[in-house]
Amino acid sequence: MGGEIPKQYQNINGKPLLRHTVESVLHCAGVAAVCVVIHPQDEALYRSAVSGLPRLLEPVEGAATRQGSVYNGLHFLKKWGGEQKILIHDAARPFAGADLFGRVIAALDTHEAVTPRLPVCDTLRKNGKTIDRTGISAIQTPQGFHFDTIMNAHEELAKQGDFTDDAGMVLALGGKVQEVEGARTNFKITSPGDKDMAERMMEGQRETRTGIGFDVHRFSDAPARHVRLCGVDIPYNRKLEGHSDADVGLHAATDAILGAIGQGDIGIHFPPSDPKWKGADSMLFLKEAARMVRERGGRIIHIDITLICEAPKISPHRPAMVTAIASALHCAPGRISIKATTTEKLGFTGREEGIAAQAVATITLPVQDGWA
Ligand code: MG
């Protein structure tokens, strides 16, 4: 799937893939405990991915093959006390769901080995020849077994370490495997495209947040040729005073984004007392706020900025402002709105002592616990 860390620890909708899957298993009635087989080098990633989850046994060290890893897990469970029925599930299938788990568990009452299957609907072709798909199934997990049945299969076939599923081992020894209906949604996440699909399926588990921002900067007495507004240098004989580039529009927008994720204000993250930000391009602040949104699995849906001033005239520069912000945030221009108004010569903006800006940011985030 790409990425710097193994796919099961990569975030999907703000949470590691493994955590989604383990949570889905824990939600199933009748599951006494969950044991995860991991690569020993991934222990820190594992502990952070599952922190706080109940009924998790200590992780078990995996082997070079999938089959070997399951064998290690079975050994551990035997020592742990062994349950009569066990389920073997793939960490990359977060959508198995309680119904599918329930079908597998129920079938174990009368069968020693159970696997979900799906009929294959796509046309199959090999080396240019279409294959008759009659009787061809796609086999999924969770697969369920009576403990002794699967332990015995693994012991018998330990030297033949290339089985891609456990029910296949029972079949290879002449055992019977009961098939139950799988689920189309129970797909295995293996490619970046699968990850996109998973995030879309989790769309219902997202919430919308809004944040508001407001800022004012006074005009400087020094002569100037430009004033910087929403990332654009507008020809004007006055500029705004400030520690950074004093881009009042971007400051309001940055505060709006920070507000939507409850992360304080621009002064906390980029204190004016820090010489690092002297003369800084305020687009840096906006980009950092956007990065904080992404870090939480969030996305910016829309930013609406209103500039409040008598002059300079904003409307001729609006398209350039939209483009500047949209390209900095890598979003569609339609997600950025710039408006301008005057205060009818009233107040400090009316007297042209400074410019004010307000902004509203709308974002989506993975659902947060703890309703008011
Ligand atoms: Mg400011």
Task: Show the 3-state SS of the chain.
Answer: CCCCCCHHHCEECCEEHHHHHHHHHHCCCCCCCECCEECHHHHHHHHHHHCCCCCECCCEECCCCHHHHHHHHHHHHHHHCCCCEEEECCCCCCCCHHHHHHHHHHHCCCCCEEEEEEECCCCEEECCEEECCCCCEEECCCEEEEHHHHHHHHHHCCCCCCCCCCHHHHHHCCCCCEEEECCCCCCCCCCHHHHHHHHHHCHHHEEEEEEEEEEEEEECCCCCCEEEECCEEEECCCCECCCCCCCHHHHHHHHHHHHHCCCCCHHHHCCCCCHHHCCCCCHHHHHHHHHHHHHCCCEEEEEEEEEECCCCCCHHHHHHHHHHHHHHHCCCHHHEEEEEECCCCCHHHHCCCEEEEEEEEEEEEECCCCCC
Q: Is-contact 270 246, C-beta < 8 A?
A: no
- Ligand 1 centre distance from Cα of residue 368 (Å): 30
Closest CA to 310 of 356, 371, 262: 356
Neighbours of 194 (CB within 10 A): 16
- Ligand 1 centre distance from Cα of residue 315 (Å): 22
Tokens 């062994």 found at: 82
Q: How far apart are CA 76 and CA 82, in angstroms?
A: 9
- Ligand 1 centre distance from Cα of residue 116 (Å): 59
Q: Is-contact 298 202, C-beta < 8 A?
A: no
- Ligand 1 centre distance from Cα of residue 334 (Å): 25
- Ligand 1 centre distance from Cα of residue 290 (Å): 17
- Ligand 1 centre distance from Cα of residue 231 (Å): 13
- Ligand 1 centre distance from Cα of residue 246 (Å): 6
pLDDT at residue 371 in the model:
64
Tell me: the pLDDT tens digits for 165-197? 999 999 999 999 999 999 999 999 999 899 889
User: Cα torsion for 171, 174, 178, 182, to the nearest 10°?
Assistant: 10
- Ligand 1 centre distance from Cα of residue 363 (Å): 22
- Ligand 1 centre distance from Cα of residue 222 (Å): 18
pLDDT at residue 252 in the model:
98
- Ligand 1 centre distance from Cα of residue 241 (Å): 9
Neighbours of 148 (CB within 10 A): 12
Q: How far apart are CA 351 and CA 139, in angstroms?
A: 73
Whole-prediction pTM value? 0.67
pLDDT at residue 82 in the model:
61
pLDDT at residue 284 in the model:
97
- Ligand 1 centre distance from Cα of residue 364 (Å): 25
Tell whether the torsion through CA atoms of 160, 165, 166 and 169 is positive or negative: negative
- Ligand 1 centre distance from Cα of residue 251 (Å): 5
Q: Which residues of 343-361 are buried (b: 16+ CB within 10 A; e: fewer)?
A: eeeeeebeeeebbbbbbbb
- Ligand 1 centre distance from Cα of residue 333 (Å): 24
Which tokens belong to 311?
């002059």
- Ligand 1 centre distance from Cα of residue 109 (Å): 67
Q: How far apart are CA 301 and CA 238, in angstroms?
A: 34
- Ligand 1 centre distance from Cα of residue 365 (Å): 26
Tell me: the pLDDT tens digits for 245-288? 999 999 999 999 999 999 999 999 999 888 989 989 999 999 99
Q: Is-contact 113 146, C-beta < 8 A?
A: yes
Beta bridge mates, 234: 227
- Ligand 1 centre distance from Cα of residue 248 (Å): 5
- Ligand 1 centre distance from Cα of residue 279 (Å): 12
- Ligand 1 centre distance from Cα of residue 216 (Å): 6
Beta bridge mates, 141: none
Residues in the chain: 372
- Ligand 1 centre distance from Cα of residue 272 (Å): 9
- Ligand 1 centre distance from Cα of residue 96 (Å): 49
pLDDT at residue 372 in the model:
58
Q: Is-contact 321 338, C-beta < 8 A?
A: yes
Q: Is-contact 43 33, C-beta < 8 A?
A: no
Q: How far apart are CA 123 and CA 229, in angstroms?
A: 57
Q: How far apart are CA 176 and CA 184, in angstroms?
A: 24
- Ligand 1 centre distance from Cα of residue 340 (Å): 17
Q: How far apart are CA 302 and CA 335, in angstroms?
A: 5
Tokens 């002449």 found at: 174
- Ligand 1 centre distance from Cα of residue 294 (Å): 23
Stretches in the chain below the pLDDT threshold 70: 82-83, 369-372
